[in-house]
Amino acid sequence: MMENDKNPLRTGYDDKGRFVSYWYQITKAYEFCNKSLLEIGIGTSFVSNYLRNIGLEVITIDIDIDLKPDIVAGIQNLPIRSFSFDIILCCQVLEHIPFRYFKPVITELYRISKKYIIISLPNRMHFFCLNLRLYPIFQKQFKLTLPSYILPKHRFDGEHYWEIGKKGYPLSKIKSIFRSQSLRLLQEFRNPEKPLHHFFLLQKECKKNEP
């Protein structure tokens, strides 16, 4: 074991649930990406390395130069030409900026994507998942999200400026912003192993004068 306090296994960052989230990112990206992908916020580089190994052209971008991304830049002003990538992957990133920038950043992601955007955001709404399995002939999964009618107020913890399910940040508000930016919600789901991670697969609805 590496004697390094920043090792994601030692710190607990890369727990089982997060690896399942990596799996969702990889499988959805591979399903919808023809060739080129931009990953915003590279974390441990697990996802980008895996996608490169299975044949995708991956460019990474992050504000932290120590993570050694291909491009060092903040998400609010991406130095990338419009319509550059088949798919944009941006998971567990946008909660790290104040919510007032959320809509402008979604506009920016729309600009640089050719067709698809995958986003995951933290969701604190109650979530239950029941797996019924009679191996190998039957398997059924039941999922239920329960809204909270008394929304807790979010307090900045040094990392997250906001989270879905907190006061002022209902899920309906997030979806409304997607729609206002001409993004159609193709799929959404939460990771049963880490329900905090709420995934959105978005498709561009082309505006006038766009290719």
**Euclidean distance between CA atoms 40 and 63, whole angstroms:** 9
Q: What is the pLDDT of residue 2?
A: 40
DSSP-H helix ranges across 54-130: 102-112
Average pLDDT, the chain: 89
Domain definitions of the chain by residue range: 8-204
Measured distance CA(158)–CA(132) in Å, rounded: 39
Residue 146 reports pLDDT greater than 90: no
148 near 156, Cβ under 8 Å?
no
Contact 95, 178 (CB under 8 A): no
Q: Which helix (H) or strand (E) holds 36?
A: strand 36-40
pLDDT of residue 149: 65
Give Rg (Cα) of the chain. 18
Average pLDDT rounded to a whole number, residues 192-199: 93
pTM greater than the 0.85 cutoff: yes
Pairing of strands 194-204, 113-122: antiparallel
CATH superfamily of the 8-204 domain: Vaccinia Virus protein VP39 (3.40.50.150)
Considering Cα of 103, then 107, then 112, then 115, what sign does the dihedral take? positive
The region of weakest confidence among 5-14, 55-64, 106-115 is 5-14
> Tens digit of pLDDT for each residue in 76-131?
889 999 999 999 999 999 999 999 999 999 999 999 999 999 999 999 988 777 76
**What is the C-alpha to C-alpha distance for residues 194 and 121, in angstroms, rounded to an integer?**
12
pLDDT in tens, 151-187: 789 999 999 999 999 999 999 999 999 999 999 999 9
Q: Which tops the pLDDT comparison, 13 or 189?
A: 189
Q: How many Cα neighbours within 13 Å face the side chain of 140?
A: 3
Phi, psi of 127 (to 5 degrees): -140, 130
Residues in the chain: 211
**Confidence band of 1 (pLDDT split at 50, 70, 90):** very low
d(CA 147, CA 122): 15
Tell me the pLDDT band of 25, cut-offs 50, 70 and 90. Answer: very high
Return the pLDDT at 41. Answer: 96
Mean pLDDT of the 59-87 span: 95
pLDDT at 148: 64
